[in-house]
C-alpha cells in the first residue's frame, strides 16, 4: 500500500531527535487534526520510539501532503498515519507482524471504517455544522494570522471540506444522521473489541492507536454540545480501552494527558 | 410488506444484470433476502432524475442510495443478515468501508476517467441508454463527478493532480483485492454458507470490473488472478441471476428443454436429437 524505502533508510536507526509537527495545541488545532496527531503519537509510543512534539502554526503547509501530523526523522519527512506506519516498518519496527493474513485484512478494514465514518463525521461537525463553525472552528483555524488572512484561510478551508463532503455524498446529511453514523461506528468498534484489552487481544496494533486517537479526542474536546462525546460514552468497553492506553502509554511514561479545552 | 417494490436502475450487459455497481449491490441484496423487487431498467425514456439511481419506489416512499435502500428493505423484514453475529455485523461495516475507501477510487478511474476505457466503452454504453440530448451531457457529468470524487478524497490540496494519485489508487485497489481474497479463502460466501450484505457489496463492486471488457485492463487482470473472487462472482451470477438474464426468451428456452425431455422419455431422442440441439443452441445464443 505504500512506497518502498531504499536500504539506506532501513539501515539508519531511529534518531533521538525525531520530531512530530502539529498545529498549536491551545488555540489553533481542531478536533480532527488533534485526533490524527494523537493517533500517531500513540502508535510511536506503542513501538517504543521516542518522539518530540513540536507545535507550529503553519504545520499544515509544511507537511508534504498538506495533512497533519507529519514526522521529521533523519532527513525524511512523512505525513499521516498510514505512510508513517510504512516508514516505521521499513526501519524494522512493526506492531502487526504477528497477525495472519485474515487478521491483517480485518485490521485494515477497521482502520478504514474509522477513517470513513469517524474522521468524516468529525470533519462534518467542524466545518459543515453552522453552530460549531461559527463558535469554534473559524476562530481557532485562523487564530495565528492577522485580519483579513484569518477569515480568508478559514473560508477557503471550509469550502474545500464542503466540496469533499458533497463528492462523497455527505453534503445532504443532517447532523442527526451524522451522529447516527458515529453511533453505528462506535457500536461496531465496541462489538469487535468485546472484552479484550486490545483489538487483537494482548498486543496493541496501529488500529488501537488510531481508535484511541479519535475516541480520546472526542471524549476530551469541548464542543458546542456534548452529543458527539455522549455517543462514545454509551460504550463502556471503549471508555475502558481509552483509559487503558492513556494510562499505559502516556501517563506511565511521564507525559501528561493531551486533552485540549476549547473555550 | 405487500406493497410492490420497484427499483429503477441502469441495465445490464456482458452477462451482468446491471453494469452499475450501486444498482448491482441492491439487486444482489434483494435476491439474497428474498425481497420481491420489480426491476425497471432505465432505457431511452425520459424519466426524472438519473443522477440518484438506483432508486427504490414503494407506494409511500422513495429511497435512494444503496445503504438507505438496504436499511429500508431490512425494516420491511427482508433481512439477509439475521444469522450473523454482532461481531460479523461489525466486520460487515468495516469491510464495506474498506471497499469504499480503497477499491472504489480505482474502479471509478477504470470506468470513467481512463480515457481509452471511457471513450470506447463506458460513454457509448451509457449514451445509448439515455435519450438525446441528455446523452450528450449526462455521461460527461458522471465522468466529471467520478474524477472529482477521486481527487477530493485522494488528491492533495490545493492543486489536485491526477497523475500523482493514479499510481497510488491502483496500488491500494490491488491490495484491497488481495485482502478480500485472503478473507474469502475457500468459503462460498464471506460469512459461511448464506450470502449477506457484505457479499452483495463485494459482488456489486467486483462483478462489473470482472465482466466488462475494457481496453485498459490492469485492475481487471489483477482481479482475474484471484480465482476465488472470480469464482465468487460467477457463483452468484449463476445461482441468483441466471433466469433473469434470458429475459423474454427464458420461457422459450424452458419450453425447448421440456420438449427435449419429453423426447428422451418417449425414446425418440436419438432420431430428433440433432434438430433439438440446433434449436436449443439457437435459442441460447439469442437469449444471452
Long-range CB pairs of A141-146 (<8 Å, 24+ gap) are A141/A28, A141/A30, A143/A24, A143/A27, A143/A28, A144/A24, A144/A27, A144/A28, A144/A57, A144/A58, A145/A57
Mean pLDDT over each residue of chain A, to the nearest integer: 87
**Cβ–Cβ of B157/A160 closer than 8 Å?**
yes
Question: In angstroms, what separates the C-alpha of B116 from chain A's closest C-alpha?
Answer: 24
pLDDT of residue B175: 92
pLDDT of residue B249: 42
Question: In angstroms, what separates the C-alpha of B285 from chain A's closest C-alpha?
Answer: 41
**Residues of B in Cβ contact (< 8 Å) with A4:** none
Quick: pLDDT tens for A205-254. 999 999 999 999 999 998 888 889 999 999 999 999 999 999 998 886 65
**Cβ–Cβ of A112/B94 closer than 8 Å?**
yes
pLDDT of residue A259: 40
**Cβ–Cβ of A189/B185 closer than 8 Å?**
no
Work out the number of other CB atoms within 10 angstroms of the CB of residue A5. Answer: 15
Closest Cβ opposite residue A109 in set B89, B97, B185? B97
pLDDT of residue A263: 23
Q: Which residue has the higher pLDDT, A8 or B70?
A: B70
Question: In angstroms, what separates the C-alpha of A193 from chain B's closest C-alpha?
Answer: 9
Cell numbers at B184, concatenated: 474469502
DSSP class per residue in chain B: --S-EEEEE---BTTBS-SSHHHHHHHHHHHHHT--EEEEE--SS--S--TT-SEEE-SS-EEESHHHHHHHHHHTT--TTTTS-HHHHHHHHHHHHHIIIIIHHHHHIIIIISHHHIIIIIHHHHHTTS-TTHHHHHHHHHHHHHHHHHHHHHS-SSS--HHHHHHHHHHHHHHHHHHHHHHHTT-SBTTBTS--HHHHHHHHHHHHHHHS--SS-HHHHHHHH-HHHHHHHHHHHHHHSHHHHHGGGHHHHHHHHHHHHHHHHHT-HHHHHHHHHHHHHHHHHHH-
pLDDT of residue A41: 94
Confidence of residue B247 (pLDDT cuts 50, 70, 90): very low
DSSP state of A201: B
Question: In angstroms, what separates the C-alpha of A176 from chain B's closest C-alpha?
Answer: 15
Q: Name the region of B84 (left: φ>0; alpha: ψ -120 to 50; beta: rest).
A: beta
Task: Give the DSSP H/E element, type plus range, for residue A79.
Answer: strand A76-79
Q: String of b and e for B105-119 (b: at least 16 CB within 10 Å)?
A: bbbbbbbbbbeebbe
**Cβ–Cβ of B145/A116 closer than 8 Å?**
no
CA distance A16 to A39: 20
A86 touches A54 (CB < 8 A): no
- What percent of chain B has a predicted confidence (pLDDT) above 90? 31
- B149 Cβ partners below 8 Å, 6+ apart? A167, A168, B105, B108
Q: Which of B3-17, B149-163, B209-223, B225-239 has the lowest mean pLDDT?
A: B149-163
Q: Chain A, 199-258: which have a CB under 8 Å from a chain B CB?
A: none
**Cβ–Cβ of A192/B94 closer than 8 Å?**
yes
Confidence of residue B42 (pLDDT cuts 50, 70, 90): confident
CA distance A251 to A204: 17
pLDDT of residue A64: 84
Task: Give the DSSP H/E element, type plus range, for residue A123.
Answer: helix A120-128
CA distance B203 to B25: 7
Decide if pLDDT at B49 tops 60. no
pLDDT of residue A45: 92
pLDDT of residue A21: 93
Q: Which residue has the higher pLDDT, A151 or A255?
A: A151
Q: Which of A29-33, A36-40, A123-127, B74-78 has the lowest mean pLDDT?
A: B74-78
Question: In angstroms, what separates the C-alpha of A101 from chain B's closest C-alpha?
Answer: 6
Mean pLDDT over each residue of chain B, to the nearest integer: 81
Q: Which of A80-84, A152-156, B257-261 has the lowest mean pLDDT?
A: B257-261
pLDDT of residue B288: 44
Decide if pLDDT at B278 tops 60. no
- What percent of chain A has a predicted confidence (pLDDT) above 70? 94
Mean pLDDT of B44-59: 70
Q: How buried is A134 (Cβ within 10 angstroms: 0-12 exposed, 13-18 middle, 19+ buried)?
A: exposed
Question: Hey, what's the torsion of the CAs at B164, B170, B175, B178, to 10 degrees?
Answer: 180
Residue A30 phi/psi, 5-degree rounding, is: -100, 170
Integer CA distances (angstroms), B46 to B49, B53, B126, B138, B141, in order: 9, 14, 14, 13, 17
**Residues of A in Cβ contact (< 8 Å) with B152:** 163-164, 167-168
**Cβ–Cβ of B145/A167 closer than 8 Å?**
yes
Mean pLDDT of A188-213: 92
Decide if pLDDT at B259 tops 90. no
**Cβ–Cβ of B95/A109 closer than 8 Å?**
yes
CA distance A110 to A205: 12
Mean pLDDT of A165-189: 91
pLDDT of residue B97: 94
Quick: pLDDT tens for B165-195. 888 889 999 999 999 999 998 999 999 888 9
Decide if pLDDT at A258 tops 80. no
For the entire predicted model, the pTM comes to 0.84
3-state helix, strand, coil in chain A (%, to 5): 55, 5, 35
Decide if pLDDT at A260 tops 80. no
CA distance B25 to B177: 17
**Cβ–Cβ of B182/A194 closer than 8 Å?**
no
Quick: pLDDT tens for B130-172. 887 788 888 888 899 888 888 888 776 555 577 778 888 899 9
pLDDT of residue A204: 92
Quick: pLDDT tens for B5-28. 888 888 888 889 888 898 999 999
CA angle B205, A164, A178 (to 5 degrees): 80
Please report the number of interchain residue pairs, chain A to chain B, with beta-carbon separation below 8 angstroms: 80
SS3 A244: helix
pLDDT of residue A199: 92
Amino acid at each position: 500500500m505504500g512506497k518502498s524505502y531504499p536500504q539506506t533508510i532501513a539501515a539508519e536507526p531511529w534518531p533521538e531527535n525525531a520530531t512530530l509537527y502539529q498545529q498549536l495545541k491551545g488555540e489553533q488545532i481542531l478536533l480532527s487534526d488533534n485526533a490524527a496527531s494523537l493517533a500517531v503519537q500513540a502508535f510511536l509510543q506503542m513501538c517504543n520510539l521516542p518522539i518530540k512534539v513540536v507545535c507550529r502554526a503553519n504545520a499544515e503547509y509544511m507537511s508534504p501532503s498538506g495533512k497533519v501530523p507529519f514526522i521529521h526523522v533523519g532527513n525524511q519527512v512523512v505525513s499521516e498515519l498510514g505512510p508513517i506506519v510504512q516508514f516505521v516498518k521499513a526501519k524494522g519496527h512493526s506492531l502487526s507482524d504477528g497477525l495472519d493474513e485474515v487478521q491483517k485484512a480485518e485490521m485494515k478494514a477497521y482502520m478504514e471504517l474509522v477513517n470513513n465514518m469517524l474522521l468524516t463525521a468529525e470533519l462534518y461537525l467542524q466545518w459543515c455544522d453552522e453552530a460549531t463553525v461559527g463558535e469554534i472552528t473559524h476562530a481557532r483555524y485562523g487564530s495565528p494570522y492577522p485580519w483579513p488572512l484569518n477569515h480568508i484561510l478559514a473560508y477557503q478551508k471550509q469550502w474545500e471540506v464542503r466540496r469533499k463532503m458533497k463528492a462523497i455524498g455527505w453534503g445532504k446529511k443532517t447532523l442527526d444522521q451524522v451522529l447516527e453514523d458515529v453511533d453505528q461506528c462506535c457500536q461496531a468498534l465496541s462489538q469487535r473489541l468485546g472484552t479484550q484489552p486490545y483489538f487483537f487481544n494482548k498486543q496493541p496494533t496501529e488500529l488501537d492507536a488510531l481508535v484511541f486517537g479519535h475516541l480520546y479526542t472526542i471524549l476530551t474536546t469541548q464542543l458546542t454540545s456534548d452529543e458527539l462525546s455522549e455517543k462514545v460514552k454509551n460504550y463502556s468497553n471503549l471508555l475502558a480501552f481509552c483509559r487503558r492506553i492513556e494510562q499505559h502509554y502516556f501517563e506511565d511514561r511521564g507525559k501528561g494527558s493531551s486533552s485540549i479545552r476549547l473555550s | 410488506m405487500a406493497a410492490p417494490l420497484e427499483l429503477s436502475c441502469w441495465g445490464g450487459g456482458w452477462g451482468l444484470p446491471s453494469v452499475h455497481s450501486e444498482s448491482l449491490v441492491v439487486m444482489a441484496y434483494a435476491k439474497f433476502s428474498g425481497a420481491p423487487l420489480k426491476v425497471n431498467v432505465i432505457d431511452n425514456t425520459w424519466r426524472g432524475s438519473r443522477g440518484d439511481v438506483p432508486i427504490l419506489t414503494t407506494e409511500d416512499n422513495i429511497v435512494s442510495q444503496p445503504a438507505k435502500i438496504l436499511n429500508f428493505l431490512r425494516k420491511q423484514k427482508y433481512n439477509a443478515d439475521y444469522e450473523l453475529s454482532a461481531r460479523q455485523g461489525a466486520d460487515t461495516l468495516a469491510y464495506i468501508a474498506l471497499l469504499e475507501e480503497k477499491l472504489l477510487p480505482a474502479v471509478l478511474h477504470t470506468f470513467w476517467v481512463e480515457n481509452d476505457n471511457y471513450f470506447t466503452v463506458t460513454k457509448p454504453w451509457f449514451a445509448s441508454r439515455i435519450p438525446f440530448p441528455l446523452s450528450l451531457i449526462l455521461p460527461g457529468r458522471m465522468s466529471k463527478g467520478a474524477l472529482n470524487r477521486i481527487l477530493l478524497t485522494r488528491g492533495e490540496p490545493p492543486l489536485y493532480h491526477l497523475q500523482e494519485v493514479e499510481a497510488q489508487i491502483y496500488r491500494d485497489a490491488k491490495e484491497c483485492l488481495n485482502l478480500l481474497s485472503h478473507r474469502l479463502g475457500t468459503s462460498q460466501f464471506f460469512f459461511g454458507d448464506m450470502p449477506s450484505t457484505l457479499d452483495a457489496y463485494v459482488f456489486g463492486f467486483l462483478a462489473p470490473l470482472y465482466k466488462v471488457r475494457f481496453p485498459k485492463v490492469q485492475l481487471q487482470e489483477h482481479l482475474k488472478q484471484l480465482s476465488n473472487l472470480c469464482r465468487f462472482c460467477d457463483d452468484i451470477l449463476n445461482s441468483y441471476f441466471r433466469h433473469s438474464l434470458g429475459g423474454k426468451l427464458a420461457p422459450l428456452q424452458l419450453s425447448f428443454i421440456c420438449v427435449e425431455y419429453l423426447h428422451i422419455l418417449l425414446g425418440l431422442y436419438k432420431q430428433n436429437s440433432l434438430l433439438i440441439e440446433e434449436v436449443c443452441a439457437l435459442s441460447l445464443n439469442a437469449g444471452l
